[in-house]
């Protein structure tokens, strides 16, 4: 059961209704995340455009964005986020077998950029909360950080780190909120890792 009430469309604040209408136009319904966010008037109006900008076309290849989002969802053991991110990845041409490899941490079949992005996603998700500041100021191993700086240009690197960060935040938000599923379950090989 959700931690907060899930608003119906008519319960959203006037400031959030245009963003809600745009989201419903794309997805056909108000997703549970939005219905929860609606409890904080004005937040959805900022959230949806920001997420659209981050997940849409940019300096970072779309495929990389999709892969790291799935990896972060799996590492956070979030069914809801995994469901949404797998649906998005599949719609954008990522194969189920590739999603299974991402979920299982088997990155050998991916490009150098994809492998590095997935490794950075893993370190940012798992290592940062466990690595004290005095041990490693960034929380990420220097070789991964240096390789990321070498492989990605500044705009793509900003998008990559922001994408990983946002999906970490959202996976944790989704888990604590305990939403019921509103999209198809993640493919079985991904769900098995949750």
Look-up of token digits 């969802």: 73
Whether the predicted pLDDT of 22 surpasses 90: yes
- Phi-psi sector, 131: left (phi>0), alpha (psi -120 to 50), beta: beta
C-alpha pair distances (Å), 169 with each of 8, 10, 73, 81: 24, 27, 10, 11
Sorted by where each starts, the structural domains of the chain and their CATH numbers stand as: 9-55 (no CATH), 62-191 (1.20.1290.10)
Q: What is the mean pLDDT of the chain?
A: 97
3-state secondary structure of 140: coil
Whether the predicted pLDDT of 1 surpasses 90: no
10: DSSP letter:
G
Q: How confident is the model at residue 100 (pLDDT cuts 50, 70, 90)?
A: very high
Contact 66, 90 (CB under 8 A): no
pTM of the shown model: 0.96
Task: Please write the tens of the pLDDT for every residue from 144-184.
Answer: 999 999 999 999 999 999 999 999 999 999 999 999 999 99
| Angle, alpha carbons 27-181-25 (nearest 5°) | 10
């Amino acid at each position: 059961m959700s931690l907060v009430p899930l608003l119906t469309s008519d319960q959203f604040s006037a400031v959030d209704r245009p963003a809600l209408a745009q989201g419903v136009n794309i997805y056909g319904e108000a997703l549970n995340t939005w219905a929860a966010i609606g409890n904080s008037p004005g937040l959805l109006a900022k959230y949806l455009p920001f997420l659209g900008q981050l997940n849409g076309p940019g300096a970072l290849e779309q495929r990389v964005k999709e892969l790291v989002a799935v990896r972060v969802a799996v590492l956070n053991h979030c069914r809801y986020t995994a469901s949404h991110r797998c649906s998005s990845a599949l719609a954008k041409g990522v194969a189920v077998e590739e999603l299974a490899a991402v979920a299982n941490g088997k990155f050998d079949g991916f490009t150098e950029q994809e492998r590095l992005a997935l490794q950075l996603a893993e370190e940012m998700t798992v290592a940062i909360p466990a690595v004290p500041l005095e041990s490693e100021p960034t929380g990420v191993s220097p070789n991964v950080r240096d390789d990321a700086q070498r492989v990605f240009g500044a705009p793509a690197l900003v998008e990559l780190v922001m994408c990983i960060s946002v999906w970490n935040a959202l996976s944790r938000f989704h888990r604590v909120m305990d939403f019921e599923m509103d999209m198809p379950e993640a493919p079985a090989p991904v769900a098995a890792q949750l």
